[in-house]
Chains A and B, each alone.
Chain A
Amino acid sequence: SQQGEEDPQALSIQEGENATMNCSYKTSINNLQWYRQNSGRGLVHLILIRSNEREKHSGRLRVTLDTSKKSSSLLITASRAADTASYFCATREDGTSYGKLTFGQGTILTVHP
């Protein structure tokens, strides 16, 4: 079963614009991770934020985590056509083993050149 919802389900923007995706989850978590998937291929890890962190940056990516609201957001700044992909949040719930992640439904991002 899915951990929660991602919003929006689809996002279409122009190159250079920023893209924001949101993720909500249901249980207490150890960490939250964001992944990218291109056209039904494997998942590429983007960033991990720990449950005791509120914000994290990596290049053009900015992730926030609000554990009181059980939500996270991923911001991609100055988007490029190559950012076109599906983006998933995944959580590792407290008490579960390293290898079990629970994924959201994903946001399909389309960046038009």
Chain B
Amino acid sequence: KAGVTQTPRYLIKTRGQQVTLSCSPISGHRSVSWYQQTPGQGLQFLFEYFSETQRNKGNFPGRFSGRQFSNSRSEMNVSTLELGDSALYLCASTTTATGIYNEQFFGPGTRLTVL
């Protein structure tokens, strides 16, 4: 099975712009989660989507949003970029078919730099 893929891998934007990141989960996985990783704050949960519905949301401002499509692919959007949004954005997928003990499979991440 192909792993979780994320595009683009690297992105450079300027303050005030917006950005859209894409994630394709492992085939058959319906839950997709997004995380932000920074040196100062570490790995922080952004949100989770399941069957096109946001199921959980972390403590991030409304500038961060996401969506999931019927094929389970997910996008996240950050509007009005700030310097502090520079981070590695990681997407993870998990199956919900095997009960409540589910490992998450992570993609390689998108490195976003805001200038």
Contact = CB atoms under 8 A, between A and B. Distances in A.
A48 interface: yes
Given A40-B88, A45-B105, A98 B43 contact: no
Given A30-B101, A99-B92, A101-B104, 20 more contacts: A1-B44, A1-B59, A30-B100, A40-B109, A41-B108, A42-B107, A43-B106, A45-B105, A96-B56, A97-B31, A97-B48, A98-B50, A99-B33, A99-B50, A100-B45, A101-B33, A101-B35, A102-B45, A103-B35, A103-B43
Interface in B50-73: 50, 55-56, 58-59
Chain B binding surface SS class: strand
11 contacts: A31-B100, A33-B103, A43-B90, A45-B103, A97-B50, A98-B31, A98-B96, A98-B102, A100-B45, A101-B104, A102-B45
A48 B103 CA distance: 7
Contact of A99 (B4, B94, B101): B94
